Amino acid sequence: MNNPFEYGAAVSGSAFCNRTTETADLMSAIHNSQRAFLYSERMMGKTSLVRRVLAGLDPEKYVAVYIDLWATDDEASFITTTAREISQAMGSDASRVLEVAKRLFSRFSPKVSLDDNGIPKVSFEYNPTAEQARQSLEEVLAAPQRMATESGKKVAIVFDELQRILEYGDDHVERLLRSIIQMQRNVSYIFLGSRKHLLQDMFLNRKRPLYSAADHFPLGPIKVEHWLPFIQQKFETTGRQISKQVTEQICLLTQGHPFYTQHLCHAIWEKLAAGEEATELDIQRGLQVLLARETGAYSTLWESLTVNQRRFLYGLAVEDHPVSLYSRAFVQKYRLGNPSAIQRLSGALLKRDVIDRDARSFVISDRFFRLWIRERED
Protein backbone atom coordinates (compact mmCIF):
# COMPACT_ATOMS: atom_id res chain seq x y z
CA MET A 1 0.00 0.00 0.00
CA ASN A 2 1.40 3.39 -0.97
CA ASN A 3 1.65 6.20 1.53
CA PRO A 4 -1.24 8.54 0.61
CA PHE A 5 0.42 11.72 1.86
CA GLU A 6 2.47 13.73 -0.61
CA TYR A 7 4.86 16.53 0.08
CA GLY A 8 7.49 18.35 -1.93
CA ALA A 9 6.16 19.03 -5.40
CA ALA A 10 2.83 20.63 -6.25
CA VAL A 11 -0.11 18.32 -5.57
CA SER A 12 -3.21 17.64 -7.65
CA GLY A 13 -6.23 15.36 -7.83
CA SER A 14 -6.98 13.44 -4.65
CA ALA A 15 -3.79 14.74 -2.99
CA PHE A 16 -5.23 18.24 -3.06
CA CYS A 17 -7.22 19.37 -0.04
CA ASN A 18 -9.99 21.96 -0.12
CA ARG A 19 -9.07 25.54 -1.16
CA THR A 20 -12.63 25.92 -2.40
CA THR A 21 -12.93 29.61 -1.63
CA GLU A 22 -9.50 30.43 -3.00
CA THR A 23 -10.23 28.46 -6.17
CA ALA A 24 -13.49 30.34 -6.69
CA ASP A 25 -11.80 33.69 -6.06
CA LEU A 26 -9.08 33.04 -8.61
CA MET A 27 -11.56 31.68 -11.14
CA SER A 28 -13.55 34.84 -10.84
CA ALA A 29 -10.38 36.94 -11.18
CA ILE A 30 -9.67 35.10 -14.41
CA HIS A 31 -13.22 35.47 -15.60
CA ASN A 32 -13.01 39.22 -15.00
CA SER A 33 -9.63 39.42 -16.75
CA GLN A 34 -8.00 40.75 -13.60
CA ARG A 35 -4.35 40.82 -12.70
CA ALA A 36 -3.62 38.96 -9.50
CA PHE A 37 -0.60 38.66 -7.27
CA LEU A 38 -0.83 35.44 -5.25
CA TYR A 39 1.50 35.33 -2.28
CA SER A 40 2.09 33.33 0.86
CA GLU A 41 4.75 31.82 3.04
CA ARG A 42 6.95 29.17 1.46
CA MET A 43 5.23 25.93 0.43
CA MET A 44 1.77 27.11 1.39
CA GLY A 45 0.35 25.66 -1.81
CA LYS A 46 0.41 28.49 -4.37
CA THR A 47 1.57 26.40 -7.30
CA SER A 48 -0.84 23.56 -6.48
CA LEU A 49 -3.68 26.05 -6.24
CA VAL A 50 -3.11 27.85 -9.53
CA ARG A 51 -2.59 24.61 -11.39
CA ARG A 52 -5.84 23.37 -9.94
CA VAL A 53 -7.61 26.56 -10.99
CA LEU A 54 -6.27 26.35 -14.55
CA ALA A 55 -7.21 22.69 -14.83
CA GLY A 56 -10.75 23.56 -13.79
CA LEU A 57 -11.31 26.14 -16.52
CA ASP A 58 -13.71 25.17 -19.27
CA PRO A 59 -11.55 24.74 -22.41
CA GLU A 60 -14.45 25.90 -24.55
CA LYS A 61 -14.27 29.29 -22.92
CA TYR A 62 -10.73 29.72 -21.69
CA VAL A 63 -7.17 29.22 -22.80
CA ALA A 64 -4.95 28.54 -19.79
CA VAL A 65 -1.20 29.05 -19.92
CA TYR A 66 1.04 28.08 -17.01
CA ILE A 67 4.57 29.43 -17.33
CA ASP A 68 7.22 28.30 -14.86
CA LEU A 69 10.09 30.75 -15.01
CA TRP A 70 12.33 28.70 -12.71
CA ALA A 71 14.65 27.54 -15.48
CA THR A 72 15.00 30.98 -17.07
CA ASP A 73 17.97 33.22 -16.41
CA ASP A 74 17.84 35.94 -19.04
CA GLU A 75 15.53 37.68 -21.44
CA ALA A 76 16.11 35.15 -24.22
CA SER A 77 15.10 32.19 -22.03
CA PHE A 78 12.11 34.15 -20.73
CA ILE A 79 11.02 34.69 -24.32
CA THR A 80 11.38 31.10 -25.46
CA THR A 81 9.83 29.65 -22.30
CA THR A 82 6.84 31.94 -22.58
CA ALA A 83 6.43 31.37 -26.31
CA ARG A 84 6.71 27.61 -25.84
CA GLU A 85 4.05 27.45 -23.14
CA ILE A 86 1.71 29.71 -25.07
CA SER A 87 1.99 27.50 -28.16
CA GLN A 88 1.57 24.29 -26.17
CA ALA A 89 -1.50 25.65 -24.45
CA MET A 90 -3.29 25.61 -27.80
CA GLY A 91 -4.01 21.92 -27.65
CA SER A 92 -2.94 18.32 -27.76
CA ASP A 93 -2.78 18.07 -31.52
CA ALA A 94 0.78 18.44 -32.82
CA SER A 95 -0.09 20.01 -36.16
CA ARG A 96 -2.35 22.55 -34.49
CA VAL A 97 0.33 23.46 -31.96
CA LEU A 98 2.87 23.88 -34.72
CA GLU A 99 0.49 26.02 -36.73
CA VAL A 100 -0.11 28.30 -33.76
CA ALA A 101 3.60 28.51 -32.95
CA LYS A 102 4.41 29.38 -36.55
CA ARG A 103 1.74 32.01 -36.72
CA LEU A 104 2.50 33.69 -33.41
CA PHE A 105 6.25 33.22 -33.34
CA SER A 106 7.31 32.86 -36.96
CA ARG A 107 10.82 34.16 -36.60
CA PHE A 108 11.65 31.71 -33.81
CA SER A 109 11.60 28.76 -36.26
CA PRO A 110 9.40 26.54 -34.09
CA LYS A 111 9.54 22.75 -34.20
CA VAL A 112 7.18 20.25 -32.62
CA SER A 113 7.92 16.77 -31.37
CA LEU A 114 5.91 14.36 -29.26
CA ASP A 115 7.05 13.48 -25.75
CA ASP A 116 6.81 9.99 -24.22
CA ASN A 117 3.14 10.54 -23.45
CA GLY A 118 2.36 11.68 -26.98
CA ILE A 119 2.00 15.31 -25.93
CA PRO A 120 3.30 17.89 -28.41
CA LYS A 121 6.37 19.81 -27.23
CA VAL A 122 7.57 22.94 -28.95
CA SER A 123 11.16 24.02 -29.30
CA PHE A 124 12.70 26.98 -31.10
CA GLU A 125 15.85 27.54 -33.04
CA TYR A 126 16.27 30.99 -31.72
CA ASN A 127 19.51 32.83 -31.10
CA PRO A 128 18.64 36.51 -31.18
CA THR A 129 20.88 39.51 -30.99
CA ALA A 130 20.09 41.92 -28.16
CA GLU A 131 18.06 44.10 -30.50
CA GLN A 132 16.10 41.14 -31.86
CA ALA A 133 15.45 39.93 -28.32
CA ARG A 134 13.92 43.25 -27.48
CA GLN A 135 11.52 43.04 -30.40
CA SER A 136 10.74 39.41 -29.71
CA LEU A 137 9.84 40.19 -26.14
CA GLU A 138 7.17 42.57 -27.28
CA GLU A 139 5.94 40.04 -29.80
CA VAL A 140 5.72 37.30 -27.15
CA LEU A 141 3.95 39.48 -24.63
CA ALA A 142 1.50 40.62 -27.28
CA ALA A 143 0.59 37.01 -28.11
CA PRO A 144 -1.97 36.51 -25.29
CA GLN A 145 -4.03 39.37 -26.67
CA ARG A 146 -3.88 37.90 -30.17
CA MET A 147 -4.95 34.52 -28.81
CA ALA A 148 -7.90 36.09 -27.01
CA THR A 149 -9.01 38.02 -30.06
CA GLU A 150 -8.54 35.19 -32.53
CA SER A 151 -10.09 32.44 -30.43
CA GLY A 152 -12.89 34.46 -28.89
CA LYS A 153 -11.94 32.87 -25.55
CA LYS A 154 -10.62 34.39 -22.38
CA VAL A 155 -6.93 33.83 -21.81
CA ALA A 156 -5.36 33.18 -18.41
CA ILE A 157 -1.61 33.57 -18.12
CA VAL A 158 0.18 32.39 -14.99
CA PHE A 159 3.79 33.33 -14.31
CA ASP A 160 5.18 31.14 -11.54
CA GLU A 161 8.62 31.71 -9.95
CA LEU A 162 8.35 35.31 -11.15
CA GLN A 163 11.27 36.37 -8.92
CA ARG A 164 13.56 34.93 -11.58
CA ILE A 165 13.06 38.01 -13.73
CA LEU A 166 15.01 39.97 -11.13
CA GLU A 167 18.10 38.09 -12.21
CA TYR A 168 17.92 39.01 -15.88
CA GLY A 169 20.30 41.95 -15.52
CA ASP A 170 17.92 44.87 -16.10
CA ASP A 171 14.25 45.58 -15.51
CA HIS A 172 13.21 45.49 -19.14
CA VAL A 173 10.89 42.48 -18.74
CA GLU A 174 9.33 43.98 -15.64
CA ARG A 175 8.66 47.29 -17.37
CA LEU A 176 7.26 45.73 -20.49
CA LEU A 177 5.02 43.45 -18.45
CA ARG A 178 3.63 46.48 -16.72
CA SER A 179 2.71 48.25 -19.90
CA ILE A 180 1.20 45.29 -21.74
CA ILE A 181 -0.87 43.80 -18.92
CA GLN A 182 -2.70 47.05 -18.54
CA MET A 183 -3.71 47.29 -22.16
CA GLN A 184 -4.87 43.77 -22.91
CA ARG A 185 -8.53 42.80 -23.02
CA ASN A 186 -9.91 39.39 -22.05
CA VAL A 187 -6.53 38.36 -20.74
CA SER A 188 -5.85 37.77 -17.06
CA TYR A 189 -2.48 37.43 -15.38
CA ILE A 190 -1.64 35.65 -12.17
CA PHE A 191 1.78 36.27 -10.70
CA LEU A 192 3.39 34.11 -8.06
CA GLY A 193 6.71 32.78 -6.90
CA SER A 194 8.55 31.21 -4.02
CA ARG A 195 10.39 34.28 -2.72
CA LYS A 196 7.78 36.35 -0.99
CA HIS A 197 10.03 39.26 0.01
CA LEU A 198 11.31 39.78 -3.50
CA LEU A 199 7.85 39.54 -5.00
CA GLN A 200 6.24 41.79 -2.46
CA ASP A 201 8.85 44.37 -3.23
CA MET A 202 7.97 44.14 -6.92
CA PHE A 203 4.30 44.86 -6.26
CA LEU A 204 4.45 47.07 -3.16
CA ASN A 205 7.39 49.32 -3.81
CA ARG A 206 6.35 52.58 -5.47
CA LYS A 207 9.59 52.77 -7.36
CA ARG A 208 9.09 49.47 -9.14
CA PRO A 209 7.41 49.10 -12.54
CA LEU A 210 4.80 46.62 -11.31
CA TYR A 211 3.84 48.69 -8.29
CA SER A 212 0.10 48.25 -7.71
CA ALA A 213 -0.27 46.54 -11.08
CA ALA A 214 -2.13 43.57 -9.58
CA ASP A 215 -4.76 42.79 -6.95
CA HIS A 216 -3.42 41.00 -3.92
CA PHE A 217 -4.43 37.44 -3.09
CA PRO A 218 -2.81 36.26 0.15
CA LEU A 219 -2.88 32.51 0.73
CA GLY A 220 -2.95 31.16 4.27
CA PRO A 221 -2.95 27.73 5.94
CA ILE A 222 -5.72 25.16 5.45
CA LYS A 223 -8.27 25.10 8.27
CA VAL A 224 -8.64 22.11 10.58
CA GLU A 225 -12.22 21.56 9.46
CA HIS A 226 -10.94 20.96 5.92
CA TRP A 227 -7.97 18.84 6.95
CA LEU A 228 -10.17 16.57 9.09
CA PRO A 229 -12.11 14.77 6.35
CA PHE A 230 -9.07 14.81 4.05
CA ILE A 231 -6.68 13.19 6.52
CA GLN A 232 -9.18 10.77 8.02
CA GLN A 233 -10.25 9.58 4.61
CA LYS A 234 -6.66 8.99 3.51
CA PHE A 235 -6.05 6.80 6.54
CA GLU A 236 -9.30 4.93 6.05
CA THR A 237 -8.93 4.20 2.35
CA THR A 238 -5.48 2.75 3.03
CA GLY A 239 -6.73 0.47 5.80
CA ARG A 240 -5.65 2.58 8.81
CA GLN A 241 -7.58 4.67 11.29
CA ILE A 242 -7.16 8.06 12.88
CA SER A 243 -9.56 9.78 15.29
CA LYS A 244 -10.84 13.31 15.01
CA GLN A 245 -8.94 14.22 18.14
CA VAL A 246 -5.58 12.91 16.92
CA THR A 247 -6.06 14.60 13.54
CA GLU A 248 -6.79 17.89 15.24
CA GLN A 249 -3.66 17.48 17.30
CA ILE A 250 -1.59 17.12 14.11
CA CYS A 251 -3.09 20.28 12.63
CA LEU A 252 -2.44 22.16 15.83
CA LEU A 253 1.22 21.18 15.74
CA THR A 254 1.70 22.11 12.09
CA GLN A 255 -0.58 25.16 12.33
CA GLY A 256 -2.42 23.82 9.29
CA HIS A 257 0.52 24.60 7.00
CA PRO A 258 -0.01 22.26 4.01
CA PHE A 259 3.55 21.10 3.49
CA TYR A 260 4.24 20.35 7.17
CA THR A 261 0.84 18.76 7.69
CA GLN A 262 1.33 16.39 4.76
CA HIS A 263 4.90 15.69 5.84
CA LEU A 264 3.93 14.83 9.42
CA CYS A 265 0.98 12.71 8.28
CA HIS A 266 3.31 10.90 5.91
CA ALA A 267 5.70 10.07 8.77
CA ILE A 268 2.88 8.91 11.06
CA TRP A 269 1.27 6.75 8.39
CA GLU A 270 4.62 5.22 7.51
CA LYS A 271 5.00 3.74 10.99
CA LEU A 272 1.53 2.22 11.17
CA ALA A 273 0.82 -1.37 10.22
CA ALA A 274 -2.32 -2.20 8.23
CA GLY A 275 -5.41 -2.07 10.43
CA GLU A 276 -3.79 0.05 13.14
CA GLU A 277 -5.12 3.31 14.51
CA ALA A 278 -2.87 6.35 14.93
CA THR A 279 -2.56 7.62 18.50
CA GLU A 280 -0.98 10.66 20.12
CA LEU A 281 2.05 8.49 20.75
CA ASP A 282 2.34 7.87 17.00
CA ILE A 283 2.38 11.63 16.44
CA GLN A 284 5.28 11.91 18.86
CA ARG A 285 7.10 9.04 17.19
CA GLY A 286 6.58 10.47 13.71
CA LEU A 287 7.76 13.84 14.88
CA GLN A 288 10.85 12.41 16.52
CA VAL A 289 11.86 10.81 13.22
CA LEU A 290 11.42 14.12 11.38
CA LEU A 291 13.17 16.24 13.98
CA ALA A 292 16.06 13.80 14.30
CA ARG A 293 16.67 14.22 10.58
CA GLU A 294 16.82 18.00 10.88
CA THR A 295 18.51 18.38 14.23
CA GLY A 296 21.96 19.07 12.76
CA ALA A 297 20.67 21.91 10.64
CA TYR A 298 18.44 23.25 13.41
CA SER A 299 21.28 23.23 15.95
CA THR A 300 23.55 25.10 13.56
CA LEU A 301 20.87 27.69 12.93
CA TRP A 302 20.14 28.01 16.64
CA GLU A 303 23.82 28.47 17.47
CA SER A 304 24.07 31.24 14.91
CA LEU A 305 21.41 33.33 16.68
CA THR A 306 21.93 35.90 19.42
CA VAL A 307 20.63 35.21 22.93
CA ASN A 308 17.77 37.65 22.46
CA GLN A 309 16.85 36.22 19.08
CA ARG A 310 16.60 32.79 20.71
CA ARG A 311 14.44 34.09 23.53
CA PHE A 312 12.21 35.83 21.04
CA LEU A 313 11.86 32.67 18.96
CA TYR A 314 11.24 30.55 22.01
CA GLY A 315 8.40 32.84 23.05
CA LEU A 316 6.98 32.78 19.54
CA ALA A 317 7.21 28.97 19.48
CA VAL A 318 5.49 28.24 22.78
CA GLU A 319 2.80 30.91 22.95
CA ASP A 320 -0.55 30.41 21.27
CA HIS A 321 -0.83 32.03 17.87
CA PRO A 322 -1.34 34.95 17.28
CA VAL A 323 1.22 36.19 19.75
CA SER A 324 1.05 39.83 20.89
CA LEU A 325 4.75 40.42 20.57
CA TYR A 326 4.76 44.07 21.39
CA SER A 327 2.96 43.56 24.70
CA ARG A 328 4.82 44.25 27.92
CA ALA A 329 3.82 40.80 29.17
CA PHE A 330 5.57 39.02 26.28
CA VAL A 331 8.68 41.15 26.54
CA GLN A 332 8.93 40.57 30.28
CA LYS A 333 8.17 36.90 30.21
CA TYR A 334 10.91 36.19 27.68
CA ARG A 335 13.36 38.73 29.12
CA LEU A 336 13.66 40.78 25.95
CA GLY A 337 14.46 44.13 27.55
CA ASN A 338 11.83 46.54 26.30
CA PRO A 339 9.19 46.47 23.55
CA SER A 340 11.33 48.56 21.22
CA ALA A 341 13.73 45.61 20.90
CA ILE A 342 11.04 43.55 19.16
CA GLN A 343 11.23 45.49 15.95
CA ARG A 344 14.96 44.91 15.64
CA LEU A 345 14.73 41.24 16.55
CA SER A 346 11.88 40.49 14.18
CA GLY A 347 13.57 42.49 11.43
CA ALA A 348 16.75 40.44 11.66
CA LEU A 349 14.87 37.13 11.73
CA LEU A 350 12.60 38.13 8.87
CA LYS A 351 15.60 38.93 6.76
CA ARG A 352 16.96 35.45 7.33
CA ASP A 353 13.56 33.88 6.58
CA VAL A 354 13.50 32.29 10.02
CA ILE A 355 10.18 33.97 10.68
CA ASP A 356 7.50 35.36 8.44
CA ARG A 357 4.65 37.78 8.84
CA ASP A 358 1.13 36.52 8.66
CA ALA A 359 -2.09 38.50 8.84
CA ARG A 360 -2.06 38.73 12.62
CA SER A 361 1.48 38.36 13.94
CA PHE A 362 4.71 36.55 13.13
CA VAL A 363 5.17 32.83 12.60
CA ILE A 364 8.24 30.62 12.59
CA SER A 365 8.55 29.71 8.92
CA ASP A 366 9.69 26.12 9.41
CA ARG A 367 6.92 24.55 11.50
CA PHE A 368 9.18 21.64 12.46
CA PHE A 369 11.84 24.09 13.68
CA ARG A 370 9.10 25.61 15.83
CA LEU A 371 8.41 22.23 17.39
CA TRP A 372 12.13 21.58 17.83
CA ILE A 373 12.48 24.89 19.70
CA ARG A 374 9.55 24.01 21.95
CA GLU A 375 11.35 20.93 23.14
CA ARG A 376 14.39 22.88 24.26
CA GLU A 377 14.98 23.63 27.90
CA ASP A 378 16.95 26.89 27.52
Ligand X SMILES: Nc1ncnc2c1ncn2[C@@H]1O[C@H](COP(=O)(O)OP(=O)(O)OP(=O)(O)O)[C@@H](O)[C@H]1O
Which one of 68-76, 90-98, 255-263, 321-329 is the stretch in contact with ligand X (CB under 6 A)?
255-263
Query: Helices 367-374 and 258-271 meet at what angle, rounded to 10?
Result: 70
In whole angstroms, how close is the CB of 4 to ligand X at the nearest point?
Answer: 11
Please give the C-alpha separations between residue 98 and each of 89, 110, 255, in angstroms, as whole numbers: 11, 7, 47
Query: What is the phi/psi pair of residue 66, to 5°?
Result: -105, 120
In whole angstroms, how close is the CB of 5 to ligand X at the nearest point?
Answer: 7
According to CB under 6 A, which one of 36, 37, 47, 309 is a site residue for ligand X?
A: 47
Which one of 1-9, 95-103, 134-142, 314-322 is the stretch in contact with ligand X (CB under 6 A)?
1-9
In whole angstroms, how close is the CB of 257 to ligand X at the nearest point?
Answer: 8
Spatial CB neighbours of 216, under 8 Å, sequence gap ≥ 6: 36, 37, 39, 203
In whole angstroms, how close is the CB of 208 to ligand X at the nearest point?
Answer: 21
DSSP conformation letters of 231-248: HHHHHHHTT-EE-HHHHH
Binding site for Mg ion (CB under 5 A): 47
* Distance from C-alpha of 168 to C-alpha of 51, rounded to nearest angstrom: 25
According to CB under 6 A, which one of 11, 176, 268, 283 is a site residue for ligand X?
A: 11
Which one of 11-19, 25-33, 77-85, 282-290 is the stretch in contact with ligand X (CB under 6 A)?
11-19
DSSP conformation letters of 83-139: HHHHHHTT-S-HHHHHHHHHHHSGGG-EEEEE-TTS-EEEEE-----HHHHHHHHHH
According to CB under 6 A, which one of 23, 145, 194, 241 is a site residue for ligand X?
A: 194
Which one of 16-24, 119-127, 141-149, 365-373 is the stretch in contact with ligand X (CB under 6 A)?
16-24
Q: By CB under 6 A, what part of segment 84-103 binds ligand X?
A: none
In whole angstroms, how close is the CB of 346 to ligand X at the nearest point?
Answer: 21
- Contact (Cβ atoms closer than 8 angstroms) between residue 209 and residue 177: yes
Query: Which residue is at the shortest CB distance from ligand X?
Result: 45
Query: What is the arrangement of strands in the sheet containing 215-218, beginning at the earlier edge strand?
Result: 62-68, 154-160, 187-191, 35-39, 215-218
Interface residues with ligand X (CB under 6 A) are 6-11, 16-17, 19, 40, 42-48, 194, 258-259, 262
